[in-house]
Amino acid sequence: MQNAKDSFYMALRSRLAAINPGRTILLRGTVRPGILVEEAEATFAQLPTDVFVVRWLGLALDMDLALPMAAEECEILYQTCGTQSFGGLDRGRCLSAMDEELKSMLQPFFTPKLSYTATPPAAMLTNVFWDEPALASAVVQRDQLSRSAKVTVYSYQEQGE
């Protein structure tokens, strides 16, 4: 499932860069699109704001198909305090903007599966696909608004995976 997870993340990352090039994060001295995979980064004392955080939750397999299919639940978390220029009073608008970015990043609901074990990544035989996001209600915590969205990501397990 690692190839599917990597392909899903890289698709979202490239789509975010096209949708909102200004949404970035500085990680390990490099500025990159404002999305990260929680399990691939050092632990955070607190999740970063104005960034999408991908969290992988659980895996299921269906072995009764011609190729086994894996389904992994993904949670995408994001939060904002608004902007300094508006004293944070625009945090609702900022969260709504992130909602729209997330919906746009997830469409279309598929991407080619690639193996990122080599450079450049090697194309595999199948696609990675996912369902529509289920957005949770916004959560208010002091000056911060946050939301999570859950998506199930599917992938056929190819030979050698």
Q: Are 114 and 3 in contact (CB under 8 A)?
A: yes
112 SS3 class: strand
The domain limits of the chain are 2-156
Reported as a single tens digit per residue, the pLDDT across 113-159 is 999 998 999 999 999 999 999 999 999 998 899 999 999 999 999 88
CATH of domain 2-156: 3.30.2000
Q: How far is 89 from 92, CA to CA, in rounded Å?
A: 8
Percent of the chain surpassing pLDDT 90 = 75
pLDDT band of residue 65 (cuts 50, 70, 90) is: confident
| pTM, rounded to two decimals | 0.92
